Chains A and B, each alone.
Chain A
Amino acid sequence: MRFSTLQRHVREGSRNIWRNGWMTVASVGAVTTTLVLVGAFLALMLNLSNIATNLEKDVQIKALIDLTADQAEIDAVGDAIQRIPEVASVTFSSKDEELSSLIDSLGEEGKVWEMYEQDNPLNDVYIVKTTDPLDTISVAKKIASITNVEEITYGQEVVQNLFKFNQYARNIGLVLIVGLIFTAIFLISNTIKITIIARRREIGIMKLVGATDSFIRWPFFIEGLLLGVLGSIVPILIITTGYYYLSHSGNALTQFSFVELLPFSPFAIQLSLVILAIGAGIGVWGSVMSIRKFLKV
């Protein structure tokens, strides 16, 4: 296609947007509503998943070693853990180290424990991290069966609930987003369909003059694209402004150390691009769907 022909299609497509008046307003409104919701969901989901990943990274297994084990047996446990394929790192922490970190973590109350420094009741431990946090549970089970491992702890409930929640959030979010997008595509395709029905006679004339289907299709395609892009302007403004305030104000959320929002830049910019792309996609798909049937004139 010649560049001048493309220019012609763009000119015609933009003109249609202008000519269709309220129809344009309606379909841009539909895209705007959809994208505001989709954008908010995306921001929420990506942050949830970021928080979850951060928490997952902190998940570790503690293998408490039998108090009766001698040094050779302790080393044997370490080697056995090392041999589990899903294990990423194994760190030894003696009972004295465990006690001092416990005392540190408790602050003032920790003083009570200082009296145990002479007769430490704690176990030596191996701190184990898995390559994929999702393997935590199965690895923990394997470690538990090693001789001289007295007990394992990995915050069982937290880990399991976290994984479940994360999966639910993702699935529900995806279903909602896909549903919203299809609604918007349907609305756009309907708008364009109505304008095409109104212009059926014109399309017939164009074909009599020798226009190919694709020549007739292009301006509608551009029209859909523009509707989608126009519809993504307001959502981008709303989402970026909203996100800016959320991530820059010391609000209730950020008081929890593990709740760390993704940084405004580049996250908000990437999100804007995604919203723009979804908007353009909705518009193009909507227009393509609506013109398919209408060219047999």
Chain B
Amino acid sequence: MIAMENVYKTYPNGVTAINGIDVTIDQGEFVYIVGPSGAGKSTFIKLMFREEVPTKGNIVINNRNLAKMKWKEVPLLRRDIGVVYQDFKLLPKLTVYENVAFALEVIEETPRNIRRRVMQVLDQVGLKNKARFIPDELSGGEQQRVAIARAIVNHPKLLIADEPTGNLDPETSWEIMRILEEINASGTTIIMATHSKEIVNTIKKRVIAIEGGLIVRDEHRGEYGYEI
């Protein structure tokens, strides 16, 4: 369902962050993206929901060719992909409920369905009783759970996470991983960039290692493979 073919990405400042990548990821897989800082992990992830456009090559996701995509189609692509960031990216002035509901308002769900579905996902991430809080009133782990709820609220087939546990303490990180595994178990593909050796070596999944913009290793049930 995800296929990258000879993909290159050079930023306007001349830095080539992705240097010829070929990869396919099947529906329902759970994939860690590992590698040293500056290796190109974030860029690899941004290419998948067109926050960045490839300089060369093809990217096909859910039968959509991102290289040939028009500006107008980008919002449609993003509605089918849930994205979770290290810094959560919640709307600061909206409540937890409103942050999650936003992803459904965008696709013009009926108010009834929005209410039902939002409460359902908030329950799933264990935040039903904090629906009326604003992000600043929550801990980091709770904010990340809101972001996950928002990412999965319209049943995406693909969930992408860029270091979702990067700002969280180990205990909270395990909590987040438990939720991601649950989501994966229901059939959603998960692609997660991470620096956490403990997580990668404990919850064994496919590991893709990137260095200098190239895939240097791709193993099922792989190891983190780096010190630090």
Which residues of chain A have a CB within 8 Å of any CB of chain B?
1-2, 4-5, 8, 19, 202, 205-212, 215
Q: B145 near A: Cβ within 8 Å?
A: no
A209 contact from B92, B110, B150, Cβ within 8 A: B150
Q: Name the B residues within 8 Å of A207 (CB-CB).
A: 75, 78
The smallest beta-carbon distance between A207 and chain B, in angstroms, is 7
**How far apart are A229's CB and chain B's nearest CB, in angstroms?**
24
Residues of A within 8 A of B79 (CB): 210
Cα–Cα, bound, A73→B175 (Å): 114
**What residues of chain A lie closer than 8 Å to B93, measured between beta carbons?**
19, 202
Cβ 8 A contact of A206, one of B76, B92, B102: B102
- Verify if B177 is at the interface (C-beta below 8 Å from A): no
Which residue among B75, B83, B91 has the maximum number of chain A CB atoms within 10 Å of its CB?
Answer: B75
Does the CB pair B75–A212 fall under 8 Å? yes
Contacts of B108 in A (CB 8 A): 1-2, 4-5
Also in contact, A202 and B92, with CB within 8 A (given A4-B111, A210-B79) = yes
Inter-subunit contact A208/B105 (CB<8 Å): no
Knowing A5-B105, A202-B91, A205-B89 are in contact, say whether A210-B76 is a contact too (CB < 8 A). Answer: yes
Besides A1-B108, A210-B79, A210-B106, 10 other CB < 8 A contacts?
A: A2-B108, A4-B108, A5-B108, A202-B91, A208-B49, A208-B78, A208-B89, A209-B102, A209-B150, A210-B78
Interface of chain B residues 75 through 115 with chain A (CB within 8 A): 75-79, 83, 89-93, 102-103, 105-108, 110-111
- Docked Cα-Cα span, A210 to B154, in Å, equals 11
For the complex of A and B, list the 7 residue pairs with the smallest distance between their C-beta atoms, beginning with the closest: A210-B79, A210-B78, A212-B75, A211-B106, A210-B75, A4-B111, A205-B89
Nearest chain A CB to B70 CB, angstrom units: 13
Cβ of B91: which chain A residues have Cβ within 8 Å of it? Answer: 202, 205-206
Chain B residues with CB below 8 A from A210, complex form: 75-79, 103, 106-107
> How far, in whole Å, are A283 and B88 apart by their CA atoms in the complex?
35
A209 touches B103 (CB 8 A): yes
Is A211 a contact partner of B110 (Cβ separation < 8 A)?
no
23 A–B contacts from the bound complex (CB under 8 Å): A4-B110, A4-B111, A5-B108, A202-B92, A205-B89, A205-B90, A205-B91, A206-B106, A207-B75, A208-B51, A208-B78, A208-B89, A209-B103, A209-B106, A210-B75, A210-B77, A210-B78, A210-B79, A210-B106, A210-B107, A211-B106, A212-B72, A212-B106
Residues of B close to A209: CB separation below 8 A: 78, 102-103, 106, 150
List, in ascending order, chain A residues with CB within 8 A of B107's CB: 210
Report B74 CB to chain A, min CB distance, Å.
8
Contact partners of A211 in chain B: CB under 8 A:
75, 102, 106
Contact A208 to B106, CB < 8 A, known contacts A4-B111, A202-B91: no
A208 touches B102 (CB 8 A): no
- Which single residue of chain B is at the shortest CB-CB distance from A202? B91
Hey, which chain A residues are within 8 Å of B49, CB to CB?
208
Q: A207 to B72, alpha carbons, bound, how many Å?
A: 12
Task: Looking at the assembled complex, report how far the CB atom of A92 sits from the nearest CB atom of chain B, in whole angstroms.
Answer: 76
The residues of A that contact B78 with a CB separation of less than 8 Å are: 207-210
Q: Which residues of B contact A205 (CB under 8 A)?
A: 89-91
C-alpha spacing A209/B154, complex, angstroms: 11
A208 vs B93: C-alpha distance in the bound complex, in angstroms? Answer: 17
B83 partner residues in chain A, CB cutoff 8 A = 208
Shortest distance between the CB of B203 and any CB in chain A (Å): 26
**Which residues of B are found within 8 Å of A208, using beta-carbon distances?**
49, 51, 78, 83, 89
Contacts of A1 in B (CB 8 A): 108
Q: Tell me the bound Cα distance from A202 to B89 in angstroms.
A: 8
Instruction: Across the interface, name the chain B residue whose C-beta is closest to A4.
Output: B111
Whether the pair B75, A8 counts as a contact (CB closer than 8 A) is no
Which of B77, B105, B107 has the largest number of chain A CB atoms within 10 A?
A: B105
Give the docked Cα–Cα distance between A5 and B110 (Å).
9
- Residues from chain B with a CB closer than 8 A to the CB of A5 are 105, 108
Q: Which residues of A contact B89 (CB under 8 A)?
A: 205, 208
